[in-house]
């Protein structure tokens, strides 16, 4: 189903972004980052947690208070954080900050990046995503429609 592929593409993109950000601070190339730099890593991913939120994240990922964060513990936590902010994925494509995407913009990205969507998958997704009156994709509405809260 197209919605599953969208989610898979989003998770793949999120993992790539997390890996690149983490790697930039992994000075010894050993899949660890100094705990004092983790806030910078998180901010480089477009998240701006409060100090309390940052402490919560660190408490969740820091192993035995050794002063380092291991990538394997950081990845699932940050994936969850970034995946919960799904509109960010579409905002990256919306460089003019219009709050919507043209169908052509989304089609170009989804058929040329990562594991490309087929024409049929794009048609299925666009039939659900495009506002019929304005012929644009209001991505915040689309994300809300496409997902549901599994914690409920």
d(CA 150, CA 123): 27
Closest CA to 46 of 4, 15, 6, 17: 17
**Structural contact between residues 73 and 63, judged by C-beta atoms closer than 8 angstroms:** yes
Residues 120 and 56 in one domain: no
Residues 127 and 100 in one domain: yes
Chain centroid to CA 60: 19
Q: Note down pLDDT in tens along the chain; length 152 residues.
A: 555 666 666 677 778 888 998 999 999 999 999 999 998 888 777 676 778 888 889 999 987 778 999 999 999 998 888 766 655 567 767 778 888 888 888 888 777 765 677 788 788 778 878 899 999 988 777 766 654 443 43
Quote the domain boundaries for residue 70.
Answer: 2-85
Task: State which of 65, 85, 105 marks the end of a domain.
Answer: 85
Residues 81 and 98 in one domain: no
Compute the Cα dihedral for 32, 35, 37, 41 and give only its sign: positive
**Structural contact between residues 9 and 16, judged by C-beta atoms closer than 8 angstroms:** no
Number of domains in the chain: 2
């Amino acid at each position: 189903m197209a919605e599953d592929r969208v989610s898979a593409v989003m998770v793949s993109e999120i993992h790539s972004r997390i890996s690149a950000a983490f790697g930039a601070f992994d000075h010894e190339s050993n899949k660890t980052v100094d705990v004092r730099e983790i806030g910078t890593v998180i901010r480089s991913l477009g998240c701006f947690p409060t100090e309390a939120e940052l402490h919560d994240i660190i408490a969740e990922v820091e192993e035995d208070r050794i002063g380092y964060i291991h990538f394997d513990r950081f990845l699932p936590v940050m994936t969850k954080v970034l995946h919960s902010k799904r509109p960010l994925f579409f905002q990256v494509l919306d460089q003019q900050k219009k709050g919507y995407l043209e169908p052509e913009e989304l089609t170009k990205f989804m058929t040329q990046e990562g594991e490309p969507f087929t024409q049929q998958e794009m048609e299925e997704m666009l039939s659900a995503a495009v506002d019929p009156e304005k012929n644009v994709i209001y991505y915040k509405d689309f994300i809300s429609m496409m997902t549901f809260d599994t914690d409920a």
